[in-house]
Structure 1
Amino acid sequence: MYKIVLLRHGESEWNALNLFTGWTDVDLTEQGIKESKNAAKIFLKRGYTFDIIFTSVLKRCIKTAWIILDEMDAMWVPIKRSWKLNERFDGDLQGKNKVEMAKKYGEEQVFLWRRGWDNPAQPIPESDPRHPINHRKYQTLKKEEIPSIESLKDVEKRVKSYWLKEIVPEIIKGEKVLIIAHGNSLRALIKDLNDISPEKLSQINIPSGIPCVYELNNELKTIRSYYLGDPSEIQNAIQLMVDAHKFTKEN
């Protein structure tokens, strides 16, 4: 049996403002910092240690990792960053308020953009400052790798390739792996670990800052999964997402 830990980054500034975030490189809020420190306390209390951490190239993930390692007195643990673990790229929605978009386009349409499997929103042109082709951190990528918009199906493709090429070899070696990513990149990974259908995938809610352990069989499929922490706090965090499922602070 193998064991890995998945963690959605702490609350970001645009989570707090209820904006579509995507690849926008926003920072953690004070609440997000608190969530990251709390995750570290849980790891210490439960006796968890890590040999390697995987994150996206977005600072809300990287800072979550830094805070956790600092709190655990383990800053020496290597962090591998990849754009393939980034949040879904939201195209023209990026930076816009979710409630305002729902008023303009309808709740059903916005829900499809946010949680649908193959329902991308409007792309943005390369001349738009929000387009990742204009950002230094993506200049080493091939042009065809840089999206103007993504669906969850697109996210799964890149996450799966990174999982198989970079993360799986570390797991098989017996390394203790922590993956810190985003709502949609984690959702894409969970789809493959649990063999979840695209239709049911939209129902998965991943609260920020709460570690989730996955125990995997030899085929790296889920035997069981469970959150770490106070059960009532975990349930409250999940319920908050369910209650406001269409326009929660998602990305």
Structure 2
Amino acid sequence: MATAMSHQSIGSLVSHRSSSSSTISESLREPLKVATKGFKIDSSLSYTSRRKRNFSKIEAIASKTPSVSYNTPLSPSKNITHNSPKKPKEAALILIRHGESLWNAKNLFTGCVDVPLTEKGVEEAIEAGKRISNIPVDVIFTSSLIRAQMTAMLAMIQHRRKKVPIILHNESEQAKTWSQVFSEETKSQSIPVIPAWQLNERMYGELQGLNKQETAERYGKQQVHEWRRSYDIPPPKGESLEMCAERAVAYFEENIEPKLAAGKNVMIAAHGNSLRSIIMYLDKLTCQEVISLELSTGIPLLYIFKEGKFMKRGSPVGPTEAGVYAYTKRLAQYRQKLDENSEVICS
């Protein structure tokens, strides 16, 4: 349980718009029909043996996967040379829960309803961006919901590299064609943002839009607590955390982990339950541990991916904190290059 609660204490230590296409709408209406590649969880689950089996597959996928068309000149995975030809690839993984939304502020069940951030949520996203402003980011994944996409965009505006996050529209061939960028120089100064409904908040079914307090009074506190905090009990016509984990972790394994294995630095801006599901996978939590895991809005969490393992590094304090960059040699070298470039610009 101490592992599960560690994320809750991180914050105290330091202080979409995809177009509304019919494709995404239909997917959201049938979230439980997605193939999950055999992802299954039980109360005693440990991911260790499964991760060993998967990593060889991930490495094979990564070796065949073409790099993202957006170049990253200062990425440590591309610009720092090594004496030995085959150093183990390492990459940064940043997780950010979106800032406060308008329905969070009204104490309403939100789920997959698409509502934007409050002013406080905007400030939280900006603060998150300041904390990661020196950490390399090559590609961003978000949910298909505007509150997660706003958080990602506002956070990246704070980054020292000043690259422009560009949402990729892959919902149709026309959308792909119309959103192409034809300047290689512009691409090199951009970061692709990939929306995925599989990273959405869990669908709360018939609770969506209801006031949480009024719902507790109507159905009883114990019943509402089970809907909200149990692992495998869904609300009426909604998803349980287990169902949310099946789609979120399957997407992480198939689309995000190969990027990390290829040395790409990844940021994920998503939601409380989809991120809890991914953290369950990264930290090998049981279903009993994950239901006690709380994530603060707008507090980034950093992991280092190396040799098929995820190492939790907590939350970066801010752009002036040097300690976070000492976690790996390549992060330290990346920070040094940023500082050298800033000196050249200012001189």
Tell whether the 8 Å contact from 1:159 to 1:185 is kept in structure 2 after alignment.
yes
Offset of 1:218 from its aligned partner? 2.6
Q: Which runs of 5+ in 2 are unaligned?
A: 1-89, 165-189, 319-347
Which structure's CA Rg is the greater one?
A: 2
The TM-score normalised by the length of structure 1 is 0.77
Distance 1:62 1:122, change over 3 A: same
How far apart are the structure 2 equivalents of 1:196 and 1:107? 27
Offset of 1:161 from its aligned partner? 1.3
Tell whether the 8 Å contact from 1:6 to 1:178 is kept in structure 2 after alignment.
yes
Name the residue aligned to 2:312. Answer: 224
Offset of 1:223 from its aligned partner? 2.9
Q: Provide, for residues 181-235 of structure 1, a one-character-per-residue CA deviation record: whole Å limited to 9, x for no partner.
A: 1000000111111111111111101000010012345333x433412237xxxxx
Three-state SS of the structure 2 residue aligned to 1:18 is coil
The TM-score normalised by the length of structure 2 is 0.56
Tell whether the 8 Å contact from 1:19 to 1:98 is kept in structure 2 after alignment.
yes
Partner amino acid, structure 1, of 2:153: W
Offset of 1:39 from its aligned partner? 1.1
Q: Structure 1 stretch 1-10 or stretch 182-191: which is displaced more?
A: 1-10
Tell whether the 8 Å contact from 1:7 to 1:179 is kept in structure 2 after alignment.
yes
Name the residue aligned to 1:115. Answer: 229
How far apart are the structure 2 equivalents of 1:50 and 1:194? 22
How far apart are the structure 2 equivalents of 1:34 and 1:51? 24
Alignment of 1:153-172 (within 5 A): 153-172=242-261
Three-state SS of the structure 1 residue aligned to 2:312 is strand
How far apart are the structure 1 equivalents of 2:265 and 2:305? 13
Distance 1:108 1:229, change over 3 A: farther
Name the residue aligned to 2:193. Answer: 79
Partner amino acid, structure 1, of 2:299: I
How far apart are the structure 1 equivalents of 2:313 and 2:244? 22
Match of 2:140 among 38, 48, 53: 53
Three-state SS of the structure 2 residue aligned to 1:53 is strand
Three-state SS of the structure 1 residue aligned to 2:132 is helix
Across the two proteins, how many residue pairs are aligned to each other? Answer: 202
Name the residue aligned to 1:65. Answer: 152
How far apart are the structure 1 equivalents of 2:101 and 2:92? 27
Three-state SS of the structure 2 residue aligned to 1:32 is helix
Name the residue aligned to 1:135. Answer: none
Three-state SS of the structure 2 residue aligned to 1:150 is coil
Are 2:314 and 1:200 equivalent residues in the alignment? no
Q: Which runs of 5+ in 1 are unaligned?
A: 124-148, 231-251
How far apart are the structure 1 equivalents of 2:314 and 2:230? 25
Name the residue aligned to 2:76. Answer: none
Tell whether the 8 Å contact from 1:210 to 1:229 is kept in structure 2 after alignment.
no
Name the residue aligned to 2:280. Answer: 191
How far apart are the structure 1 equivalents of 2:236 and 2:272? 20
Distance 1:54 1:111, change over 3 A: same
Tell whether the 8 Å contact from 1:216 to 1:224 is kept in structure 2 after alignment.
no
Aligned identity (percent) is 39
How far apart are the structure 2 equivalents of 1:171 and 1:219? 9
